[in-house]
Structure 1
Amino acid sequence: MKSARGESLGEVSVESGGLAGDRAWACVDDADQTIGSAKHPRRWGGLLEVTAAGVPATIEVGGSRYAAGSPEADKALGEHLGRPVRLTRTVPAQPRIHRLLPDDPGMVPDWLAELRPGQERLEESGGYARTGRFVDFGAVHLVTTGALAELAERVGRPVAADRFRPNLVITADADPEPGAELRIGDVVLRVLFRTPRCVVPGLGQTGLPADPAVLRTLARHYRVRVFGDGKAACFGVYADVLQPGHLKLGTPVTPA
């Protein structure tokens, strides 16, 4: 479920739209039909305390587990978030999310330069049209152990990969370059571009306290040009699936 805590898997099928089951569900606000995203923590930060797992999908709220799509799940989520919501696998007619820009100016992408740090924004959510999932853009999001180690050195302490909510953590010295093709077993991925970051990596979430230093470090050291539209603070990369297949933990990653 979008913005919920996921699960660690030893193996998983990879489909053309991404990992099987990944972000197949989203929470929708009954009042304005916007898609729930922790990019606006005052409205949706509570989703980071919800766990989603399994196929068929279940969610865990406040220590109780419910079947995704059931009235009981919607009721529990609504009570947790403090307003009526529903879980859905179907994108609303106007797929929109609320975003709160980080307070650090370096975290505001150049293509949003007309907005001030800390400003709220209602924007289209285009990932569903590309992948059939409630993702921001790419079918797969990955980070590398080398990039995490470099970030930890700059922050001054370890930074959990979970803060970036990746699908895959790859053992490598650095993130692959845009355009690179990676083979992982029988799965082939093509790297699209570096992942622009929002407020989420600095937020407190299940098992992780809030850490504004992560965002400050991204703003100062990780601002790079993204697909010709200016610079943004980026970490990790988005990729599309060229060849579906099956992944197992520990499978070597090689150039395709």
Structure 2
Amino acid sequence: MNRVLGIRRHPLKSAAAEHVDEAFIGKHGLDGDRTWTCLDADGTIGSAKQPRLWERLLAVGAAYEAGEVTITTPGGTRALAGTAEADEAITTWMGRRVSLTRRPPSQLKRHHWWPDEPGMIPDWAADKEPGGDDVVAARHDAEGGRFFDYGAVHLVTTGALERLSAEHGSDVDPARFRPNLILDLPADPIPGQRISIGPDVVLEVAIPTPRCVIPSLAHGDAPADRALLKTLATHHRIDVPAFGRATCFGFYAEIRAVGTVAKGDEVTVTEQ
């Protein structure tokens, strides 16, 4: 029987994942997921897609409870997001003045580093320079108050992870892909298929997830692994419907029916 193996949310964009046993999935995603972001002095928001500026943010913990987010910096400093104490803790850890916000600036942008590994730049960014920095538009779900890159729910499957680990020659930690759900399935469902989880939740597969530099960075116990980008580009560059070719792993899904998901819930894949 196929089941949910892991549930993770990221209350602060680009900070470490919070591992939970159950979560409510509403029409805007998991409760508390990506509701806060860092704001830099230049007005851009924090994203580890530019590791030179934001890689250290991946080591910051964030926990959501009853509508509030508590951040924890390495060394144990804890503070409530939205307070001067939290801004000071993040500033000290990052080594430059930054602040936390749940309200997007009028021009929502972020820095993006384009990997220099061949095959890691998607077709729709073919004019970008490998190894170059760019400032790109960022997305904010105004109604739901979320700082998403694309879809409200991101998933990976055990089957895909096992194949990637074999291709790479060592186990690949799913934390590198920052999923919301880890499903025990033999392969990724394809766009248009529906995933029923537990008694209530229904998701519909949207598109495979294009990958950036983030999977190669250190995530908790998973050390930096630059070679992973080569493995991904070699084995996982595919056609993304309506977009073109890109190196992908995992997939985004749209929410068709809301409800609570829990570890161990049964998972069923069907046609639409």
Q: TM over 0.5: same fold?
A: yes
Q: Conserved in 2, the CA contact under 8 Å of 1:131 and 1:139?
A: no
Q: Report the equivalent of 1:14.
A: 25
Q: Report the equivalent of 1:254.
A: 268
Residue 78 (structure 2) pairs with residue 42 (structure 1): no
Alignment of 1:145-160 (within 5 A): 145-160=158-173
Q: Report the equivalent of 1:60.
A: 72
Greater helix proportion: 1
The one-letter amino acid of 1:44's match is W
CA RMSD of aligned residues (A): 1.2
The one-letter amino acid of 1:57's match is V
Q: Which of 225, 245, 248 is residue 239 of structure 2 equivalent to?
A: 225
Q: Which of 181, 198, 208 is residue 222 of structure 2 equivalent to?
A: 208
* Separation in structure 1 between the aligned mates of residue 194 and residue 145 of structure 2, nearest angstrom: 22
Shift of 1:252: 0.7
Secondary structure of 1:37 counterpart: coil
Q: Report the equivalent of 1:83.
A: 96
TM-score, length-normalised on structure 2?
Answer: 0.91
Q: Which of 210, 213, 219 is residue 199 of structure 1 equivalent to?
A: 213
TM-score, length-normalised on structure 1?
Answer: 0.96
* Separation in structure 2 between the aligned mates of residue 155 and residue 173 of structure 1, nearest angstrom: 18
The one-letter amino acid of 2:47's match is S
Aligned residue pairs, count? 255
* Separation in structure 1 between the aligned mates of residue 238 and residue 144 of structure 2, nearest angstrom: 25
Question: Does the C-alpha gap of structure 1 residues 140 and 130 become closer, same or farther in structure 2, counting only changes over 3 Å?
Answer: farther
The one-letter amino acid of 1:240's match is E
* Separation in structure 2 between the aligned mates of residue 6 and residue 208 of structure 1, nearest angstrom: 13
Q: Which of 102, 110, 120 is residue 115 of structure 2 equivalent to?
A: 102
Structure 1 moving runs of 4+ over 4 Å? none
* Separation in structure 1 between the aligned mates of residue 71 and residue 125 of structure 2, nearest angstrom: 34
